[in-house]
Structure 1
Amino acid sequence: MPLLTLKIDVDTFRGTREGALNLVRMLQKHRANATFLYSLGPDHTGWALKRAFRPGFLQKVSRTSVTEHYGLKTLMYGVLLPGPDIGRKCSAEMRVARDAGFECGIHTWDHVVWQDNVRTCDDAWTDRQMRQAFDRFTDIFGYAPRTHGAAGWQMNAHAFERLDAFGIAYASDGRSRLTEEGALMMQTAGPHRISVPGKTLSCIQLPTTLPTLDELLGRTITGAVIDHTNIAKTILRLTEQPRDHVFTLHAELEGQKLAPIFEQLLAGWRAQGYDFASMENYYQKVKSDTLPTRMVCWGELPGRSGELIVESNQENLTT
């Protein structure tokens, strides 16, 4: 049976207190497994406003109603309001997911700081950010994390090496390539290891293979505008042929205003014969396989502004 791995990015204070808990209840209702990845430090979502000068960012904001989904208060954190410490104030909410039987892992320390800076930062900066997240996670949950999913799919070579150093066995830090129609360009996309200068790393990468809801909403694809009435069908068309997939959802979106769409997807994937999985489930399935080693590669994806880590089609190469 093919696996549909559900990877939940929890970016914000509000997403941790509200959206993630809504998703816990929804997943239990549908008997679906998933992995929750938490932002563990301050919520500085308001700092993301400087991305307004990035090509494609304003278009994405206008399509996805950022204020509606994240809330005005969240957009003021770090600008007009102090950024709340998510891990300190929401540790009990995070443990709810764990106690309900869901896998929990690291998303980042400070989401905006990581997403906007990590690509060009040095080893010391990277280590400090990741160590803060690692230590906070261990304090909250009482054990060391086994999994990681990079904020904004942004990493650097030092960060990939730190995953091995921290004992992270499997991660979902990048994306498979997609066409403008949202279909997979690389049918072999899937689990792999990363090659950095001089070595191949142990941590297995489980890249996101499907477009996210915020990448599709409001776009015109094959002559049709993607909206709340047809977006689930659009994604389900991509999963008609059975193969393992990783779908990234957000506590701030599918856990709140877009919950009805996510429920449509869960029902549709169940009808297509998928078994809902955590990242740990997927890792257990593939860990003994002979996996390709791929170089770190950057690229753009339809519906998302800026470059991010995408799976290379070149094996056994270094950056």
Structure 2
Amino acid sequence: MSIALRIDVATLRGAEQGVPRLLDMLARHQVGATFFFNLGPDRVGHMPWRWLRRRGLGVGSWLKSRLVPARSLDSGMRQAMQAAKAAGCEVAVGGVDAPRWLYQARQQNMSWTESLLCESTGAFETLMGEVPRGRALPLQRLNRTAVRLAQRHHFSYSSDTLGLAPYWPVIDGEPVRCPQIPITLPNFDQLHLPGRDAVADILHDSQSQTLHVYAGEAELEGMALSADFERLLAGWKEQGHRIASLVEYVDALDLTSLPYHEVELGPVQPSAPARQGRRFPA
């Protein structure tokens, strides 16, 4: 049994405060993880209000982001990226300009998509001096070009969808030779409601499969909900799980045995997370 653990880092606050706390926590439990860093301009105030409020980014952050010209996240992310790598974790690319991607990706064309995704991988290579092996686009928003580009950019894997198990993605009948490692478990952002024990709910769902993927966030699991996340790590270990990075998870897979599944992009308005669809061919 194993848990592939991924942590998304979308803000400077998450990089500067959440990542160090998470690295300490992972070291205490002697487990691994993959950190996906969002790069590009810091326009966090343009994210949905619910997203901001749940992460403790209130009116001040919203106003600052909208009234002050956006500065680049890249230099602020560099220290957190290097610290995660030095701690033995995988460092990979999230996206660039997450709010822009969230609101526009489903409606945009091939050139827009390719430009933005090349910008994110280029920024990563500049900061880290290496090519990322993995990709996880913001909030599982995808379009057809983004699915195809995972193969063209030679990623070892991408983790851009919700689903049940790893698969080869198919878009418009075209197989893409970059395995999708979908998120299989709910996270605190979905379950952490008054009167509900999100840790117990996640641990319950963790028993239903042999392999799992959990997607946390530096701004939640590393900050406001860090005590709950530590309980979750302890609970997974009690269940007998090995907790590791996505690249370790992928390297242990028999890729030749993975099934092909269609990628369901969901409606354009409102934009919905992409999902693992039906098996291909049906």
The amino acid that maps onto 2:115 is R
Is 2:113–2:146's contact at 8 Å kept on the other side of the alignment? Answer: yes
Structure-to-structure mapping, 1:70-109, within 5 angstroms: 70-109=57-96
* 1:197/1:23 CA distance change after superposition, 3 Å: same
Give identity over the alignment, percent.
28
CA–CA separation in structure 2 for the residues paired with 1:34 and 1:71: 28
Is 2:106–2:271's contact at 8 Å kept on the other side of the alignment? Answer: no
* 1:164/1:272 CA distance change after superposition, 3 Å: same
1:90 aligns to what SS in structure 2? helix
1:255 aligns to what SS in structure 2? helix
Q: CA deviation at 1:277?
A: 1.2
Output the TM-score relative to the length of structure 1: 0.82
The amino acid that maps onto 1:173 is D
2:189 aligned partner? 214
Is 1:3–1:277's contact at 8 Å kept on the other side of the alignment? Answer: yes
2:6 aligns to what SS in structure 1? strand
Which of the numbers 138, 151, 159 marks the counterpart of 1:151? 138
Query: What whole-Å deviation, never above 9, does each CA across 1:106-154 have from its counterpart, x for those lacking one?
Result: 1101111111111111110001110111111001111111100110100
Is 2:94–2:137's contact at 8 Å kept on the other side of the alignment? Answer: yes
1:190 aligns to what SS in structure 2? coil
CA–CA separation in structure 1 for the residues paired with 2:86 and 2:28: 16
Q: In proportion to residue count, which structure has more helix?
A: 2
1:13 aligned partner? 12
Output the TM-score relative to the length of structure 2: 0.93
Is 1:195–1:316's contact at 8 Å kept on the other side of the alignment? Answer: no
2:163 maps to 1:191: no
Structure-to-structure mapping, 1:1-319, within 5 angstroms: 2-49=1-48, 61=50, 66=53, 69-176=56-163, 189-197=164-172, 199-218=174-193, 225-226=195-196, 230-299=197-266, 307-316=272-281
The amino acid that maps onto 1:28 is A
Larger CA deviation: 210-219 vs 74-83: 74-83
2:30 aligns to what SS in structure 1? coil
The amino acid that maps onto 1:307 is A
Is 1:77–1:84's contact at 8 Å kept on the other side of the alignment? Answer: no
Query: What whole-Å deviation, never above 9, does each CA across 1:164-184 have from its counterpart, x for those lacking one?
Result: 1111110110002xxxxxxxx
2:221 aligns to what SS in structure 1? coil
Q: CA deviation at 1:241?
A: 3.9
Is 2:78–2:127's contact at 8 Å kept on the other side of the alignment? Answer: yes
Q: CA deviation at 1:65?
A: 7.7
Q: Segments of 4+ in structure 1 off by > 6 A?
A: none
Q: CA deviation at 1:299?
A: 4.8
CA–CA separation in structure 2 for the residues paired with 1:140 and 1:65: 27
CA–CA separation in structure 1 for the residues paired with 2:213 and 2:57: 24
Is 1:4–1:276's contact at 8 Å kept on the other side of the alignment? Answer: yes
* 1:135/1:68 CA distance change after superposition, 3 Å: closer
